[in-house]
Amino acid sequence: MSLESLKLLWDAQNFVVLDTETTGLGWGAEIVEIAIIDYRGNILLNGRIRPQNGIPEDAARIHGIRDKDVSDCPSWQKICGEVKDALIDRDVIIYNAKYDVEMLQSSDMVCGLKNGWISIAHYECAMLGYAEFRGDWNHYHRNYRWHKLTEAISQMGLPPIHAHSALGDCQMTLSLMNHIFGDHS
For residue range 117-138, list pLDDT tens digits in order.
989 999 999 999 999 999 999 8
DSSP assignment letter at 146: P
Beta strands in 15-159 (DSSP E): 15-22, 31-38, 43-48, 91-94, 122-125, 137-138, 143-144
Class assignment of domain 3-181? alpha beta
**CA-to-CA distance for 79 and 97, rounded, in angstroms?**
20
- Assign 3-state DSSP to the chain and report helix, strand, coil percentages, each to 5: 45, 20, 35
Note the pTM of the prediction, 2 decimals.
0.94
At residue 184 the predicted structure's pLDDT band, cuts being 50, 70 and 90, is: very low
Looking at residues 45-59, what average pLDDT do you find? 96
pLDDT over 90 percentage in the chain: 86
CA 100 to CA 111: how far, in whole Å? Answer: 17
Say whether pLDDT at 185 is over 60.
Answer: no
